[in-house]
Structure 1
Amino acid sequence: MGRDRHRFTRQLDDLQKRAKSDKPVDKGVNKLVHSIEQSTALVARRQESVPDIIFPENLPISARRDEIAKLIDGNQVVILAGETGSGKTTQLPKICLELGRGVKGLIGHTQPRRIAARTVASRIAEELNTPLGESVGYQVRFSDHTQDTSHVKLMTDGILLAEIQHDRYLNKYDTLIIDEAHERSLNIDFLLGYLKQILPKRPDLKVIIPSATIDLERFSEHFNKAPIIEVSGRTFPVDVHYRPMADTEDDLYGAITETVSEILETEKGSSRRGGDILIFMSGEREIREGALALRRAQFPHLEILPLYARLSLEDQNKVFNGHKGRRVVLATNVAKHNHPNLVLRKKRKKKKGLADNNGSE
């Protein structure tokens, strides 16, 4: 295993120093040989347990996977510009697996948010037809669902940062995918800067930077003109309706309730079943109060679900589990990668000292 190489080298150096000093080394040599045999056996088990890999033909990235694989194989760093719906988040780890990565070390895949780390891991595991936590696992704060034979590890960028404290060169990974790089959070920027420093000392490490189609040249320049490949996304017809708050609506939650009521009323008598409704809100308190207002309205056959980072795992999973009825999900931007039929966006910025006009879009 890649994570053991540095330890074995250090142990061998110690044994050589002991031998030069005429100190006994037999016990140390036997221990080192045993450790190497264990590490070799683990690599063999990991190789045997690599699942069959299938790529969905309807995703744009699948059509270019050979080109992407060739770039990854021939370069230490690759910048992948993928539009929404291209499939970059779920398919990149599988492309790396197909290349033989993830056997001598983990394929680490960071996400800015815990919910994203869990749901992406679940999706990849489902596509590989393997139980979550085995070949594909995830780690977020207070929760580690990986094992020795895991090939792909989803995690928050904060988890990877914490690992640097006890693994300076991130030796447990042979591939790192830093997703959502365009968000340019403090964690992401620190990781990108740190990775640039350690790459010369880790020539075996591959780094892939998936990003929206912005700042591509800056990412490339940062990593010494790393190659860029662009993958188109999928677009769907979207109708945008702006609904300002009426004079009779004196609060945000009343406006949201009335808007949902109008949507349901408009669809009455339609032969096509309406989809779920996603309402973006700026924080946990607004989500809880909005959910309470909708429940008080007692809409028939409508499930109201909040979604925010501090919600329990069980309650978060309700949003992603299958269901028969119709749902209204009130969420922060942790839900921005899901695809309901209707999205309500509260048009109010969260900025100290300023208060924009309210409206639903």
Structure 2
Amino acid sequence: MTETSPWANPRLRAAWARTDWAAILREYRRAANISQTALAGLVGLSQADVSLIERGRRTVRESAVMTRITEGLNVPPELLNLSASASTWAPDPELTERIARAHTTGRTDIRSADWIARVLAEHRRAEDDGAGADLWPVVRSQLDTVTRLIPGASGPTADKLLLLSAEHAHWLSWVAHGQGEYGAALAWLGVAHGWALDAGSADMASWITRVRSYYQLGAGDPVRALRTAETAIGGGAGLSPSAASIASHTAAMAAAAVGERDRAHRLADEAYEAALRTPDEDDRPGWLYWLSPTRARLLLGEAAYAARDWRRAADALGDGLAELEGYPRDAAFYMAKLEDARRRA
């Protein structure tokens, strides 16, 4: 697969996970920018058949037709056999067994992992639009594919695969938490943290610890959240500026929740200044693609709001909100805080 493959499209991959043949054909055409006639040529059907399937007037039941569509559209290997565990929320023990055999002597083909890393980046953006639950079985299956490569890898290649596994586990934790599966969310975080440490990634280990703090704060335990966020900061040793930024922001939110307003302001300022040191997305870890200077300004306003500094919150939120076009869920979240801060200022 290449970066330009239609199968990088999250909607297409989600349609495959649902075995929704009508959506598969529609989304493939949209992603590939081809006509029904061109698609028909790929899958060995007539244009009329493609039209009927897309409109729900014909149901795909024949195995021969399924095979023609699968082969004609060049479905990537990690989607061909979605694992049985892909429908469950919690991690299964077999994953840990695979990881335990990492760093053995061996050679493995890293190209499939590079492809999966590419599509995971697309899934992160899709999750921003609320499509995480639809993509759950796809990402879970991708994780299976990555971990199967690990026993045959060593050195930097094994580290790369371990980090990619940790990124997947974090994504699964985040989506599980959003679905109210809190125990599974914590279990995935535990798995992700171990893999991040094995990979030698201070940034990912810090990020996962930060997410745990976020969960704790949301559950109404700000004291524990503050302690956990301080661990995520870890003195800043070995952390990239963006990883240190988001850890400090989380600590600022927890400090505000326990009533330490001065500490919250200091941490929020540190977070903002650190974020500004990596304004370009390519200079940030992949999972922090969103931490632009605009987002950093919004986080500064969010921390000020949590500390009940209404004027500062209104100024910072007002500065950043105008640039959230295309993110309706985030825009609504910050707009509500901005309007409330302005009323209270």
TM-score category, normalised to shorter length: under 0.3
More strand by share: 1
User: Normalising by structure 2, what TM-score?
Assistant: 0.26
Q: Which has the larger radius of gyration?
A: 1
More helix by share: 2
User: Normalising by structure 1, what TM-score?
Assistant: 0.25
Relative contact order higher in (CA < 8 Å, ≥ 6 apart): 1
